[in-house]
Amino acid sequence: MSSNYLKSIAFFFYFLLNSATVNFSQQITPSWHHMGNCFPNSNIASPPFAYKNNLYVSLTNLTCNNINEHMVAKYNFDIQRWDTVTWANNGGMMDWCLFRDSLAVVGSFNTVLKPWPPPNDTTNGVALFNGTTWYSAGVWSNSLAAASAIETYNNELYIGGNFANINNQPRWRIAKWLGGTNWANVGPGFSQGQGWVNNMHVYNGELYVAGKLDLPGTGLYYNLVRWDGTQWDSVGGSWHPIYFGCMVTDTINNLLYIGASPIVVNGVSIKDIAIWDGTNLYPGPASPFFGVNHMAFYNNELYAAGHSITMSPDTMFAKFDGNNWTIIPTTNGGITGLTVHNGNLFVGGTFDSIAGLPIKKLACYGINCPQNVGMQDNPEPIKAFDFKLYPNPASNQFTLTITATEPKRYTFKIYNALGVLIDKDIFKNEIVYNSSTLSQGIYHIQVCDESGNICESKKIIIE
């Protein structure tokens, strides 16, 4: 064998090993990116949702096209540009899901603006969108102003909330759409007492429903229950009422992660994350928060957002790698939703920065986030504001504060879950409200500036 041949073989393996080393060292790692400044003074109100290669977000005070208040915007990944979506004229969106190739939404709205079929048609609390046109789901009763959760299960549309009827027919807390104006109870349904549905999720062929709920047929509150298409069952036992909760599936290990504040099952505390395998319930990784509101799995890590123990927004977002939590700092606000799409993690909220970067309200984390995001800026952006509610949940009273450099006049309004105005007042920067006479349940707080043109809304639980 010639020496030149041996040298060629040696050079080949040297080149192969060094090439492998270079390629490995040059692997792209995920990074944070902004999604444009089309809404620098807005807040992302609900989790972003991907539909037909568009990312839909529900927000307020959109600073594009001179439009503000309770709007839906979409980001088109094909042309890398934001655009507005004509939305409700008097309410916000709380949840959405994919239903038979349409985007199904639920919220506190009464009507959706044009383009719209017959002018006398309305859709209270639930509507369908095919990417161009809004359609009614056959709801004309105002009671669905209290709908707050929506999910597709077995190719059928389910909605949940604090409603008592649909189209003047008794439908307590949860209902299934039969088409047209027809809605049905889900099995025997929940009791007619105090209660609500605030979260639904499909796992292992069953529909999981969370809130303050009884287990049908028992007369006892279990608060997290599951529906298999035929009957209701518990999820490991009786849970403490779930005020602000979330559920996400670990698809690799086929486990259901349940986040809430607090988690108490059969009288035993499990901090704020529990894991369910379909039969058994286990304590999950205790978060650095005072409760978990949103979760998502990305790159085999659990991302979670919640209430800060120190009430500092800098500790409201973190990731768990299987062993340890790592804080992802945010400033001046928290997280309102997480979603994974196109290999990226999208984070929406009220923050002014994330991970130490000046990214406002909506961020993308990944290796192929949109670049050079297009936008249509309003030359004179509408200056929004934010307010804090505490404690939440509340009982006898709660405080509402607005941070401002100088005192300003604001209008305060409180609505019940049916959208009925309960009380209103005028204040300057802070108000302490006596809630001792209010019944238990979910209420909506609306604060408007003196002109009445800029408004912000939040939910509060009265125990």
**Tens digits of residue pLDDT in 338-356:** 999 989 999 998 888 888 8
Q: Residue 55 pairs with which residues in a beta bridge? A: 50, 75
pLDDT higher than 60, residue 13: no
**Tens digits of residue pLDDT in 178-234:** 988 889 999 988 886 678 898 999 999 999 999 988 998 888 889 999 999 999 999
Q: Which residues are CB-contacts of 3 (< 8 A; sequence separation ≥ 6)?
A: none
pLDDT higher than 70, residue 253: yes
Domain 31-366 sits in CATH at 2.120.10.80
Pick the most confident of 78-92, 285-299, 382-396: 285-299
Q: Residue 85 pairs with which residues in a beta bridge? A: 72
The answer to whether the CB of 205 falls within 8 A of the CB of 213 is no
Q: How far apart are the first and last CA of the chain?
A: 88
* Burial category of 351 from C-beta neighbours within 10 Å (exposed 0-12, middle 13-18, buried 19 and up): buried
The answer to whether the CB of 172 falls within 8 A of the CB of 191 is yes
Distances (CA, A) of 24 to 17, 18, 29, 330: 11, 10, 11, 32
**CA–CA distance, 338 with 351 (Å, rounded to integer):** 14
Using alpha carbons, select from 342, 311, 315 the residue that is nearest to residue 327. Answer: 315
Do domains 31-366 and 387-462 share one topology? The answer is: no
**Tens digits of residue pLDDT in 304-329:** 998 765 545 555 899 999 999 999 98
- For the residues 151-180, what does the mean pLDDT come to? 90
Kindly list the domain boundaries of the chain, sorted by start residue. Answer: 31-366, 387-462
The single-letter code of the amino acid at 226 is R
The SS3 assignment for 119 reads coil
The residue that leads in pLDDT, 271 or 208, is 208
pLDDT higher than 80, residue 283: yes
The CATH superfamily of 387-462 is: Macroglobulin (MG2) domain (2.60.40.1930)
The SS3 assignment for 380 reads coil
- For the residues 164-187, what does the mean pLDDT come to? 88
Q: Residue 227 pairs with which residues in a beta bridge? A: 207, 232
The single-letter code of the amino acid at 365 is Y
Place of tokens 């997290």: 224
- For the residues 402-420, what does the mean pLDDT come to? 75
- Split at pLDDT 50, 70, 90, the class of 363 is very high
Distances (CA, A) of 175 to 48, 152, 183, 324, 440: 24, 12, 6, 40, 22
Pseudo-torsion of CA 426, 428, 432, 438, nearest 10°?
Answer: 20
DSSP tag of 313: G
Tokens encoding 310: 């120190």
Q: Residue 243 pairs with which residues in a beta bridge? A: none
Provide the pLDDT for residue 419: 60
Q: State the chain's mean pLDDT as an integer.
A: 79
